[in-house]
């Protein structure tokens, strides 16, 4: 999830029950529907990020820059 990026040229909507891993960077807006889980981030460049009962989980990333061992 730490190195996965989804670039959207307009708006992004994550449907009910969907699970996203990574970072969404949308040109306009990002919306989530009830039951969405996100392991990452949602970024809108010119519009709003609208959340509807969305669960965010923190991805397990190697922040030290090592090999994870």
Per residue in 21-69, pLDDT tens? Answer: 999 999 999 999 999 999 999 999 999 999 999 999 876 776 665 554 4
pTM score, two decimals?
A: 0.81
Q: Which pLDDT score, from 0 to 100, does residue 25 have?
A: 97
- What is the rounded distance in angstroms from the CA atom of residue 19 to the CA atom of residue 17? 7
Report the alpha-carbon distance of residue 16 to residue 63 in Å, rounded: 31
pLDDT the model gives residue 69: 46
């Amino acid at each position: 999830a730490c190195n996965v990026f989804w670039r959207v040229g307009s708006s992004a909507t994550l449907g009910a029950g969907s699970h996203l891993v990574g970072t969404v960077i949308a040109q306009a807006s990002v919306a989530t529907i009830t039951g969405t889980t996100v392991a990452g981030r949602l970024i809108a460049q010119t519009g709003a990020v609208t959340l509807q009962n969305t669960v965010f989980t923190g991805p397990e990333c190697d922040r030290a820059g090592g090999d994870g061992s």
